[in-house]
Amino acid sequence: MSAQPHDFMPADSPLPEKNLRAIRAALVIPQDREAFDAGLKAVLDEVRVSLDLGALNAFVHRWWISACDSVRDPEGRRQMHIRAGQVLAGDIALEGKPWREILAARGIDV
């Protein structure tokens, strides 16, 4: 079983369509848009070489989940990026268990 964005979103929050244009439009945090643009360039380069659309499909799915999160909780995404920057800069230490471990204990595939 894997968690889907619609499992956590209020029923009245419309999900973005699952296409590149809608996903990018839903990414309201600059760091998300920058990472999306860089990742899209890389995955399109990969697809040109491999001629396998699987990598593009995986990219769209991963970013659609982030876009759904951005629509549901833009302030939460801003705070996530702030905290990640602080952790990377060594300003704060990580606490608790890794999220993958927590989700695995709940039987959720990541």
106 compared with 58, residue with greater pLDDT: 58
DSSP 91: S
Three-state DSSP at 17 gives coil
pLDDT digits (tens, 9 = 90+) for 30-88: 999 999 999 999 999 999 999 999 999 999 999 999 999 999 999 999 999 998 888 88
**Cβ contact 42:50 at 8 Å:** no
- Size of the chain, expressed as the number of residues it contains: 110
